[in-house]
Structure 1
Amino acid sequence: MRFLLIEDNVQLASAIVERLSLDGHVVDLAPCLADARAHCATAEYDLILLDIMLPDGDGRTFLADHRGRENATPVIVLTARSEVSDRVGVLDLGADDYIVKPFDFSEFEARCRAVLRRKGGASGNRISRGDLKFDTLAGTLQVAGEQIQLRNRELRLFEIFINAPGQIFSKSKLVDRLFSYDEDVSENAIEVYVGRLRKHLSASAANIVTVRGLGYKLEV
């Protein structure tokens, strides 16, 4: 999954990026609203983590603009304000959740997972499609009863496919979702990871198929 973190506290931002990266997520960091808008203009995100007090303005303005453009990307607000009125305010503006600083990273990660589950229409960490059972928290894939442990990139790539079976993803879009701006990778990397996933799915009725000239999709 690709996250946009809008946070000007260097220490906190570094800790969040490190924690999410360990789980295989790609995190773009924007220390101000101007950078955040530039990122949103060039990339598609699965989740936005938004601080309120930023050097060049109020994060609530960004949130209001974000929803005003009918952008459905979920937003979790990171706030030092614990008053009920402040929490109600950001939820009414369109935030999907909020977490009060300082926070425990286990709770932070759980809230991210919960918001992503709601976005994908899932009620829990386990997703079943045909003879596939996928656990996003444990990072395991069960194929026709056999359990497979996925590596981080494989996990995040399969998560994209299983959350949208039948949807075609181009190589360029998958590169955008799996790798950060700093990583110099070609679309050939996607072919490698798709090849690995196909091997994992060899015993399944499901498969990742190539749609000539367009990309890949999961057929269940």
Structure 2
Amino acid sequence: MRILIVEDEYRLGDHVAKGLREEGFAADLASTCGRARDLVIENPYDLVLLDLMLPDGDGLALLREWRREGRSTPVLALTARDLLADKIAGLDAGADDYLTKPFAFEELLARIRALLRRRPAEPVSLLAIADLALDRTARRVHRGGREIELTPKEFALLEHFLLHPGATLTRSEIAEHVWDERYEARSNVIDVMVARLRRKLEADGAPRLLHSVPGMGYVLRASGRRARNTDSHGASGPGERSP
């Protein structure tokens, strides 16, 4: 999932971004209203953290603008203003939640997860295909009765594939939802991550679920065939085809 942080205090914004990335989220950082506008147009964000006091404008005005445009992305307002009237103004402007600075990162994370759980587009907590199951609430993955330990980024990648079973996902589509602005299109980071995920899913020779689509990207679909040994980039060994 991808989150936009609109915060002009660099140290705070950077701290929040790093924390979210460690939890498996893709996180972009904007320090002005203008930059936030551009990023929201360019990227499909799942949630926005919005500081209400920005150097080039009022965060509340920006929020009202987004709501007038029909943007329904959940917004968590961040501000040093702790008066009841300020909180009411933020909620009336269209904020889904309100958090006063300073705050503990753990509380911010809990509020983010609560907002993401509310989204009507994602009511299902358990995603599955064949003998693979991913629990979005407990953040655990099992296959054939075996628990699979994944890093936060691997979990986010698998979750995105499970949300689109049978659909061919290009590298750019995967990057939009699982990575952030730091992703370089010419790098092979997605191929490497998919190869790592495959190795974990295919331990003990389990059938392949993540398939390569030459010239396009990857698709998650059930297959009756046993997995084949692959190198670190998902390529088949000598004399073998990569499905």
Band the TM-score falls in, shorter-chain normalisation:
0.7 to 0.9
Aligned to 1:133, the other structure's residue is in SS state: strand
The amino acid that maps onto 1:207 is L
Q: Cα gap change, 1:165/1:54 in structure 2, threshold over 3 Å: closer, same or farther?
A: same
Moved more, 160-169 or 201-210: 201-210
Q: State the shift of 1:48 in Å.
A: 0.9
Q: Which runs of 4+ in 1 moved over 6 A?
A: 203-206
Q: Cα gap change, 1:20/1:199 in structure 2, threshold over 3 Å: closer, same or farther?
A: same
- The separation in 1 between residues aligned to 2:220 and 2:114, in whole angstroms, is 23
**Structure 1 residue runs without a partner (length 5+):** none
Aligned to 1:186, the other structure's residue is in SS state: coil
- The separation in 1 between residues aligned to 2:17 and 2:162, in whole angstroms, is 25
The amino acid that maps onto 1:50 is L
Does the CA-based 8 Å contact 1:4-1:47 persist in structure 2?
yes
CA RMSD of aligned residues (A): 2.8
Q: Cα gap change, 1:88/1:208 in structure 2, threshold over 3 Å: closer, same or farther?
A: farther
Q: State the shift of 1:164 in Å.
A: 4.5
**TM-score w.r.t. length of structure 1:** 0.82
Cα deviation digits, residues 21-58 of structure 1 (max 9, x gap): 22232221111101111222322222211000111111
Tell me which residue corresponds to 2:94.
94
The amino acid that maps onto 1:77 is A
% identical aligned pairs? 38
Aligned to 2:65, the other structure's residue is in SS state: helix
Equivalenced residues, count: 218
Tell me which residue corresponds to 2:126.
127
Aligned to 1:134, the other structure's residue is in SS state: strand
Aligned to 1:113, the other structure's residue is in SS state: helix
Aligned to 1:60, the other structure's residue is in SS state: helix
Q: State the shift of 1:78 in Å.
A: 0.8
- The separation in 2 between residues aligned to 1:168 and 1:82, in whole angstroms, is 47
Tell me which residue corresponds to 1:179.
179
Cα deviation digits, residues 185-219 of structure 1 (max 9, x gap): 53743333334434444487893455677654444
Aligned to 2:71, the other structure's residue is in SS state: coil
Give the 5 Å matches for 1:1-220: 1-119=1-119, 120-122=121-123, 126-130=125-129, 131-136=131-136, 139-165=139-165, 168-186=168-186, 188-202=188-202, 207-209=209-211, 215-219=217-221
Determine which structure has more spread, i.e. the larger CA radius of gyration: 2
Q: State the shift of 1:176 in Å.
A: 2.6
**Structure 2 residue runs without a partner (length 5+):** 223-243
Moved more, 178-187 or 46-55: 178-187
Does the CA-based 8 Å contact 1:161-1:217 persist in structure 2?
yes
- The separation in 2 between residues aligned to 1:187 and 1:170, in whole angstroms, is 14
Does the CA-based 8 Å contact 1:175-1:187 persist in structure 2?
no
Does the CA-based 8 Å contact 2:127-2:163 persist in structure 1?
no
Cα deviation digits, residues 118-168 of structure 1 (max 9, x gap): 235237xx5243544324466431112210011232112112223444555
Cα deviation digits, residues 53-109 of structure 1 (max 9, x gap): 111111111111212222232211112223333323322332222212111211111
Does the CA-based 8 Å contact 2:175-2:183 persist in structure 1?
no
